[in-house]
Amino acid sequence: MAYKFKKIPNHLAIIMDGNGRWATKRGLPRNYGHKEGVNAVERTINYCLKYGIKYCTFFAFSTENWKRSKEEIDGIFSLLRSYITKNDDLFLKKEVKINYIGELTPFPDDLKSILVNYVKKTKDFDKLTITFALNYGGRDDLVRAVNKIIEKGYKNITEQQLLQELDTKDLPEPDFVIRTSGEQRLSNFMLYQMAYSELYFSKVYWPSFNEKHFTKALKVYEKRKRRYGGLS
């Protein structure tokens, strides 16, 4: 039986960092780290199902990650391609809803259509929603939202209207953010949405992230007192 947490995040967001260092430390090319990182994603989806998390969002590729070498970027794309194709049945069997945030335009066409098709096939599942942030930047999300608002001709808007134009419009705000690899920054992840998220930094490189690390983080969340500016 899985440990029953008194309180779990409804929406968990993960900044998966440290793939490159994980590989370099072992004398391997960086893309081996990304490959192992994919296995960590698979494991983490199972932990979410096991502990009853409803939404989990993985930061997979940022708007700034285009600064990396073509070789590394192509490697990440082909891993993504084989990951989604391979897991076709698996996600359907597990009844996991797949979603993405970010601007897919610069992605290879085949990858885009696999992903869009996948979103369509899993849209009615509601047990767990997995969102991949791809070519995602918090600033870019806001700028695209503002441009949509301008196109609609609004003169002024409410916070609710702005939230409706963000890529995350169908997601609740993240309750808990885990970043691996020891870095303590948001690196342009859901900036607006994370106004009141609880942050957690683990020293573990993402490919090594396992159930022990996952439950350790959730135990920290269990003890956090959220006040949203009020008094508890």
Please state, in angstroms and rounded to a whole number, the distance separating the CA atoms of residues 141 and 56.
Answer: 18
Contact window for ligand IPE (CB under 6 A) among 18-26, 92-100, 156-164, 224-232: 18-26
Element (H, E) at 217: helix 211-223
Six token digits for residue 217:
């983080």
Please state, in angstroms and rounded to a whole number, the distance separating the CA atoms of residues 13 and 57.
Answer: 5
Please state, in angstroms and rounded to a whole number, the distance separating the CA atoms of residues 198 and 184.
Answer: 13
Q: Identify the CA nearest to 53 among candidates 99, 4, 9.
A: 9
Kindly state whether residue 181 participates in binding ligand IPE, applying the rule CB under 6 A: yes
Shortest Å, Cβ 65 to Mg ion: 9
Contact window for Mg ion (CB under 5 A) among 9-17, 110-118, 157-165, 202-210: 9-17
Q: Identity (one letter) of the amino acid at 12?
A: L
Which of 10, 65, 164, 210: binder of ligand IPE (CB under 6 A)?
65
Q: Which does 187 bind (CB under 5 to 8 A by kind): ligand IPE, Mg ion, none?
A: ligand IPE
Helix (H, G, I), strand (E, B) or coil at 73: helix
Please, which of residues 10-49 interact with Mg ion by CB under 5 A? 17
Which of 32, 51, 55, 59: binder of ligand IPE (CB under 6 A)?
59
Number of alpha carbons in the 13 Å side-chain half-sphere of residue 63: 18
Kindly state whether residue 209 participates in binding Mg ion, applying the rule CB under 5 A: no
DSSP of 162-201: HHHHSTTTTSPPPSEEEE-TT--S-TTSSTTTTTT-EEEE
Q: Which does 61 bind (CB under 5 to 8 A by kind): Mg ion, ligand IPE, none?
A: ligand IPE
Dihedral-angle region of residue 102 (phi above 0 means left; psi in -120 to 50 means alpha; beta otherwise): left
Kindly state whether residue 138 participates in binding ligand IPE, applying the rule CB under 6 A: no
Q: Identify the CA nearest to 189 among candidates 66, 103, 34, 62.
A: 62
Q: Which is nearer to Mg ion, 17 or 141 (CB)?
A: 17
Q: Active-site residue 65, yes or no?
A: yes
Q: Active-site residue 170, yes or no?
A: no
Shortest Å, Cβ 216 to Mg ion: 21
Which of 11, 12, 13, 19: binder of ligand IPE (CB under 6 A)?
19
Catalytic residue positions, numbered: 17, 65
**Chain positions contacting ligand IPE, by CB under 6 A:** 15-21, 59-62, 65, 76, 181, 183, 185, 187
